[in-house]
Structure 1
Amino acid sequence: MERTLSRERLDKYLQATRQDLHAAIGLYERNTKLSEAFYTPLQCLEVCLRNSIHDAMTNEYGEDWFHGNNAPLESDSRRMIFDAKDELIKDRKPVIAGQMLAELKFAFWVGLLGKHYDATIWRKAIYRAFLAHGGKPRGVVHSRLNAIRRLRNRIAHHEPIFQKPALVQSHDEIIEAIGWMCRNTSTWAKHHSRFHQVFAEPLP
């Protein structure tokens, strides 16, 4: 296992267990379980985010807002749209709204919340996606979703998250952020999340 998982990948686990390989493997297993436990809330957040933003943008710019020039998108966003279209074409899938929503990366949606869009698409459209609890300032929404994006990427790339001191807070902030868009969806995600149960389990 040390060879196939690689010494480099196990290094942080070995450091945390004073070079005890057996204990390091146990910590690696715990990290895997924690990462797995984040799947449900992260999946729910990402699907909720892209559908909520799409609805808000559609109401203002039309359903094909990412195809035409109606929405004032900047070059980075347009590049991500082009890349998503290219992937769909390569996979012989239709370049339609539903497929585009699934293909566009999480970073694309978080990018639409950035400061550079404050005076344009945020004020004209996207703020409506976050009115479930009376509305949130763009900066608060972007900061939260960007932090979640970084955690999501660590999990997606199988990196250690056990060292993060505020995993419980991170989980609860994901559930809260879903609630900014839909209270019912937030309640559903919280009900089905196994994170707190897994977090409470002792080390193997």
Structure 2
Amino acid sequence: MPHQFTPQEIADLEAVLSAPRFATYLRETDGDRHGAMELYCWNTNVSSAFYVLLQFCELAVRNAAVEAVEKEFGENWHLNRGFAYSLKNPTKRNAYNPRNDLTQCAKRLPTAGKVVAELKFAFWQHLFVTAHDPRLWDQHFADVFPGHDTTLTIAQARAQIYQDLDVLRRLRNRIAHHEPIFARDLDDDQNRARRLISWRRPRTAAWLDTFETVTPTLRSRP
């Protein structure tokens, strides 16, 4: 439903957001300040709607990965040196280092469960690279993702997860930093998140369909 904003309300929002941030919405609406306000409200609503979907998506993939790693390296996988050394260890400055992330968490946290909760989202994405196929995914992918597309090879399905996580991680970061997401292909983002949940547990994806609010919010874009 369209809102009615007073000029003062719009000016106040611009002051809260900052002129450069509000200008992003003004450009999209060709300088229409009321339209920019409507778009900002919608962007906030769709970001909120995506939060639930992304939460289930991250949990689904993370817990599937943990299950696979436990099958191969045992319940104390976070202390297993063989597993740690199988992780990438880039030396490039500012590059994410999954090996360092794991070892630092394992040093200061008492249990695998605590480590899981502290590892960055990027850590789980980095498990879905080709290097982990022989020992991890070739053996355990079908068990932990029973709903995956069986027309794909395991390597293709694992690569699809990596690609989906890369796209969704960027969406997640934009939402977390209160950035606009209206210019993204949000239908594609939604489909990627749902696919990952469905590959983990199809019935959970069907259950989420009954109450997620991304779909109606996308349809209500001003």
TM range (shorter): 0.7 to 0.9
In structure 2, relative to structure 1, the CA distance for the partners of 1:117 and 1:74 (3 Å cut) is same
How is 1:1-204 mapped onto 2 (pairs within 5 angstroms)? 1-71=13-83, 72-75=86-89, 76-85=97-106, 89=108, 94-126=109-141, 128-133=143-148, 135=150, 136=154, 137=156, 138-164=158-184, 166-203=185-222
Whether the 8 Å CA contact 1:40–1:192 is kept in 2: the answer is no
**Following the alignment from structure 2 to structure 1, what is the Cα–Cα distance between the partners of residues 149 and 34?**
50
Which has more radius of gyration? 2
Classify the secondary structure of the residue corresponding to 2:207: helix
Identity %: 34
Name the TM-score, length of structure 1 as normaliser. 0.85
* Cα distance in 2 between the residues matched to 1:133 and 1:127: 7
1:124 offset after TM fit, Å? 4.2
Of 20-29 and 41-50, deviating more is 20-29
> What CA distance in whole angstroms lies between the structure 1 residues aligned with 2:30 and 2:195?
37
| Letter aligned with residue 73 of structure 1 | L
Q: How far apart, in 2, do the equivalents of 1:127 and 1:141 lie? A: 13
Aligned-partner Cα distance in 2 for 1:9–1:116: 41
Pairwise CA RMSD = 2.1
Structure 2 Cα separation of the partners of residues 125 and 182 of structure 1: 15
Work out the number of aligned pairs and report it: 196
Q: Please identify, of 105-114 and 181-190, the stretch whose mean Cα deviation from structure 2 is larger.
A: 181-190
Which stretches in structure 2 are left out of the alignment for 5+ residues? 1-12, 90-96
1:120 offset after TM fit, Å?
4.0
Unaligned runs of 5+ in 1: none
By relative contact order (CA 8 Å, sep 6+), the higher-ranking structure is 1
